[in-house]
Amino acid sequence: MTQKTVMERLAILADAAKYDASCASSGTTKRSSAGGKGIGSTEGMGICHAYAPDGRCISLLKILLTNHCIFDCHYCINRKSSNTPRARFTPQEVVDLTLAFYRRNYIEGLFLSSGIVKSAGHTMEQLIEVARILREEHDFRGYIHLKTIPEADPGLVAQAGLYADRVSINVELPTVAGLTRLAPDKSATQIEGAMGSIGSAIVENRDARKRFKSAPKFAPAGQSTQMIVGADAASDADIVTRAGTLYDRFSLRRVYYSAFSPIPDASAVLPLRRPPLMREHRLYQSDWLIRFYGYAPADVGRAADEAGMLPLDIDPKLAWALKFRDDFPVDVNRAPRERLLRVPGLGVRAVNAVLSARRQRRLRLEDVARLTVSIAKLRPFIVTADWSPTLLTDRANLRALVAPIKAEQLELFAA
């Protein structure tokens, strides 16, 4: 068999990587290429250099080093028993591609992952080698995200953190039962152990850098993880609770949710239908509520129905408000920040604007209207100088008044 061209292998290895949701290039230290001999900079805020027709940001060159894999996880297109075409890159080839793309301003850097070949340790060494060549031989100062292999030696994982801005390990499934069933070769204990050691390495390093300026940086953009939604029986409440625990225990920057996507040559242990993409969206919204709006995971859980599922037709914040109507209306001229953040339709930016504007004068409904998209949806939940929603929050049809007009979500790819 003749060797596949770089182009053919790029197609295979990018295709194999597209089920990883993350493409973030944000949250790392500020760097520039001034005074160096290579290229690259990071400015804290990530940049999306293109968007694909699936609406996802393309910020990094996101590929696998190889999609050969000795593991057999059912949700994964690269599992051993899948008959997908296989390819591999050498570390040098990945380095050359990254630099060629970076010079033309196509990308912010590299997100490298890999199927497991030979052993976890060997695979991890190969991933680290790519990062090492980029950083040491080319003085590359752009963004590097390495997916680490939980089964690899902790020493190797620690080494990855020295070259990479972000390291991540996927917990894959929200429940241990799901993992045992769908990823028979993986172990939840091992995954959490590796996340724990990365977490503590990050904390230690932050501490060391406070005392010694010369301490090397360890994964300055932190660690993240990904959960597959809808491949096992976990409810939204389970998933949100699990994410809450992960944020707490491993000081994660981000948890990504990936709606299980019908993959070619799917394994039959998986449900035949994929979950609606809207479910993934609602989970991201809940995640946002926990990270930026002061909701506890249990709050989000309370917005769900008896089966623990969040409504698909309205967002979780509105769902929570409709369930806890006693907490409303909120007086925009008096209420503290955390109460304002609970008002459906008021975002963080609008709340900040309300807080600084009300120091100037008492706000009227039209003032609030200028700060938000739809005052009609907001009105039942607030009190202003000239407005108070008489009994509106008690109306049985409140949900119909404020819920968006229902557009049937297209389920055209249910395989």
Partner 1 sequence: MTVAVALDAPDDFEGWRDAARRLLMAGVSPDMASWRVKGDAGDLFADGDALPDPAPGAPVPRVSAKFLQLAKSALLHTEIERFSLLYGLLFRLQDNPRLMDDATDPAVRRIEQLARTVRRDIHKMRAFVRFREVVEPDGSERFVSWFEPEHHILRANASFFVRRFTQMHWSILTPQGAIHWDGTTLCEGPPARKEDAPAGDPVEALWGKYYASIFNPARLKVGAMLKEMPRKYWKNMPEAALIPGLVAGAQAREARMIEAGASATPGELQPETLEVVAKAIQACRRCPIGCNGTRAVAGEGPKSAVLMIVGEQPGDHEEQQGRPFIGPAGQLLRSHLNDTEIDLNGTYVTNAVKHFKFSPRGKARLHQTPTAGEIDHCRWWLESERALVRPRLVVALGASAARGLLGKTVSVQKERGQPRLLEDGSELWITTHPSYLLRLQDEARSVEEQRFADDLRRVSERRTDLTR
In the window 246-305, what residues touch partner 1 (CB under 8 A)? Answer: 259, 261-262, 265, 267-269, 271-274, 277
Selection from 77, 401, 99 nearest residue 270 by Cα: 77
Minimum distance from residue 344 beta carbon to partner 1 (Å)? 20
- Told to check if 378 binds partner 1 by CB under 8 A, we report no
Angle (CA) 319-173-308 rounded to 5° is 25
CA separation, residue 315 to residues 28, 279, 309, 324, 407 (Å):
30, 10, 12, 15, 14
Q: Does 233 bind partner 1 (CB under 8 A)?
A: no
CB 21 within 8 A of CB 8: no
- Residue 228's DSSP bridge partners are 258
Report the residue number, 105 or 214, with the smaller CB distance to partner 1. 105
Asked if 50 is part of the footprint of partner 1 (rule: CB under 8 A), the reply reads yes
* Smallest gap from residue 234 Cβ to partner 1 (A): 16
Question: Which is closer to partner 1, CB of 152 or CB of 368?
Answer: 368
Candidates 1, 2, 3, 7: give the one binding partner 1 (CB under 8 A).
7
Q: Which of 24, 28, 62, 161 binds partner 1 (CB under 8 A)?
A: 62
413 binds partner 1 (CB under 8 A): yes
Query: Which C-beta is closer to partner 1: that of 114 or that of 261?
Result: 261
Q: Is 80 in the site for partner 1 (CB under 8 A)?
A: yes
Q: Is residue 33 part of the contact set for partner 1 (CB under 8 A)? A: yes
Q: Does residue 315 belong to the site contacting partner 1 (CB under 8 A)?
A: no
Per CB under 8 A, 6 contacts partner 1: yes
Contact residues for 387 (Cβ-Cβ < 8 A; gap 6+): 364, 365, 379
Q: How many C-alpha atoms does 370 have within 13 Å on its Cβ side?
A: 7
Contact between 360 and partner 1 (CB under 8 A)?
Answer: yes
Binding residue (CB under 8 A) for partner 1 from 3, 54, 213, 400: 54
Q: Which residues of 159-193 are buried (b: 16+ CB within 10 A; e: fewer)?
A: bbbbbbbbbbbbbbbbbeebbeebbeebebeebbe
In the list 172, 232, 299, 367, the residue contacting partner 1 (rule: CB under 8 A) is 367
For residues 220 and 222, give the distance between their C-alpha atoms in angstroms, rounded to a whole number. Answer: 5
Counting contacts by CB under 8 A, is residue 362 touching partner 1?
Answer: no
CA distance 411 to 415: 9
Q: Which two tokens stand for residue 119?
A: 């052993």
Q: Could you count the other beta carbons within 10 Å of the beta carbon of residue 21?
A: 19
Q: How far is the CB of 90 from partner 1 (least distance, A)?
A: 16
Nearest residue (CB) to partner 1, 204 versus 265: 265
How far the first Cα of the chain sits from its last, in Å, is: 33
Smallest distance from partner 1 to CB 391, Å: 27
52 binds partner 1 (CB under 8 A): yes
Note whether 190 binds partner 1 by CB under 8 A: no
Q: Does 348 interact with partner 1 (rule: CB under 8 A)?
A: no
Binding status of residue 407 toward partner 1 by CB under 8 A: no
Query: Which position among 89, 101, 256, 257 is part of the footprint of partner 1 (CB under 8 A)?
Result: 101
Q: How far apart are CA 213 and CA 203, in angstroms?
A: 15
If we measure between CA atoms, which residue out of 265, 211, 257 comes closest to residue 76? 265
Nearer to partner 1, 37 or 213 (CB): 37
Q: Is 412 a binder of partner 1 (CB under 8 A)? A: yes
- Whole-angstrom distance, CA of residue 320 vs CA of residue 18: 33
Report the b/e string of 323-341 with b at 16+ CB within 10 A.
Answer: eeeeebbbebbebeeebbb
Please work out the total of residues on this chain that contact partner 1, with binding judged by CB under 8 A. Answer: 83
Asked whether position 309 contacts partner 1 by CB under 8 A, the answer is no
Asked whether position 357 contacts partner 1 by CB under 8 A, the answer is: yes
If binding is defined by CB under 8 A, does position 176 make contact with partner 1?
A: no
